[in-house]
Amino acid sequence: MSGLLKKVTEGIWSGRTDHLENRASFRYHQIVELKETEMLKSTDETCVIIGFESEEGVRRNKGKLGAAIAPNALRSELAKLPWKLSNEKHLADIGTIECIGNDLEKAQQQLGELVTEVLNKKMIPIILGGGHETAYGHYLGVRNHIGKEAKLGIINLDAHFDLRPYDEQTSSGTMFRQILEQDKNNSYFVLGIQRYGNTQDLFDTADELNVPYIYEEDMHDGQMVQVKTAIEEFIQKHDCIMLTLCMDVLNAAFAPGVSAPSPFGLDPSIVRAMIKSVTSHEKVLSFDISEVNPLMDENNRTVKLGAYLTNEAITSFLGRR
């Protein structure tokens, strides 16, 4: 791993302690292990948290800044949650990649190297972004781990396609177009697309790039069987899957702290169900959460919801093994 990896800030993982020895009373802050990457031992019973402090992609995309402080905010909320898994299941935190200045591409490369290292040790990366440019670094790591010829599917819970042109520069709105145009063995599926959150040109681009998507308005309790069937069919066509969550897929009433909040959007129970459904599948290697903006939040609602959704992913990943 080249480049700077910041250690977790002291005191971030803290919270209420009900018992010092009874694991059934433990919370995240009592079980998380703060480790150097070289200290990680190969095991399929561990989720590994990686922070990605970046909002350079959001700045380039002319969005509202603040996502760079999300990784530690999410850690602080995760720390308080009860740990419900057995002694054989583990959680490690290896620190945070920081985007220095405007050098987004270097930070994404460094994130990718770290994701590859974790996957090579048979562990599950849980990446806390950052703007949604986090997903490109996440992708680089997964692709390097599985090799160029494996069929990789990306499932994105998002209100937006993020398929903008990148002729001048990349951003938090370009990464999935970058991936599709650079990687012939990749496919991309978006859940929660907002009809009026994307221009017609972006819908046309999605069609040109053969991107399947499901509208936000079609993701409700009455449609869950059809949605889950579509997800399962997508997963079956690929060797490996990575899952990425952009928090602006949620209704702004539940998640106001994002760069692009919307009065429309998904209910948290639907997003929760999607995360549990996808991560329960053995082909799914990793998860990232992006676009939490604590500076735009109200009463910490978005940060807390993001932590709960991340907990669903961790619990589901480790529960399948």
The domain spanning residue 208 has which CATH number? 3.40.800.10
DSSP string across 3-66: S-EEPPPTTSS----S-SS-GGG-BHHHH-EE--GGGPPP-SSEEEEEEEE--HHHHHTT----
Number of domains in the chain: 1
**From the CB of residue 21, how many other CB atoms can be counted at a distance below 10 Å?**
6
pLDDT at position 1 over 50: no
> Average pLDDT of 43-49?
90
pLDDT of 163 > 80? The answer is yes
Residue 2 predicted with pLDDT over 50: no
Name, of 100-104, 139-143, 167-171, the range with top average pLDDT.
Answer: 139-143
Q: Which of 37-41, 127-131, 144-148, 190-194 has the lowest mean pLDDT?
A: 37-41
Q: What are phi and psi of 305, to 5 degrees?
A: -65, -40
Find the domain containing 267 and state its range: 5-319
pLDDT at site 164 = 95
pLDDT tens, position by position, 253-293: 999 999 999 889 999 999 999 999 999 999 999 999 999 99
